[in-house]
Amino acid sequence: MDGQASGVLHRVSLVQPPLVYYVRADHFEEQKRNKWDPDVYTFVTPFWPPYLPKDKRGLGLLGGKFIDFSHEREWRIPHDFTFEFSQIEFVIVDKYGDVARFPKDLKDAIGREKFLIMEVYKRIESLWPVHKV
């Protein structure tokens, strides 16, 4: 294994700013009618949060739904994303069995300490309910 992997990741913790354009729903819908440039559309997420000014809320855009993914600060790229395994901050899995099924060479390359097992946090919460996981 050469310590490299490629693929499109949903979220990676890096120093650079996110490569996503959050576009107001009214502008998003207008561009949809006029055909987004494919080089731009890859990076676009509609932005229509519930805290909109009152004059914007009743426009019926996006099927009346609110969309606010700004908290995710995700990455989108139209090609493979190459990185070192050492750059992976953490891997979230549901159960210990998910970690067990991970290929050994990947666990060794990433580091087992970087796997966060949600069933452990849920068990802690059931015994010591402070936060809702």
Token pair in block for residue 101? 């099924």
Report d(CA 106, CA 127) in Å as an integer: 32
**Model confidence at 18: pLDDT above 60:** no
pLDDT band at 9 (very low <50, low <70, confident <90, very high): very low
Q: What residues are paired with 66 via a beta bridge?
A: none
Q: Which residues of 70-100 are buried (b: 16+ CB within 10 A; e: fewer)?
A: eeeeebbeeeeeebebeebeebebeeeeeee
Q: What local confidence, expressed as pLDDT, does residue 114 receive? A: 94
Say if CB 77 and CB 11 are below 8 A apart: no
Q: At 57, which helix (H) or strand (E)?
A: helix 54-57
Q: What's the whole-number average pLDDT of the chain? A: 76
pLDDT band at 47 (very low <50, low <70, confident <90, very high): confident
Tell which wins on pLDDT, 31 or 118: 118
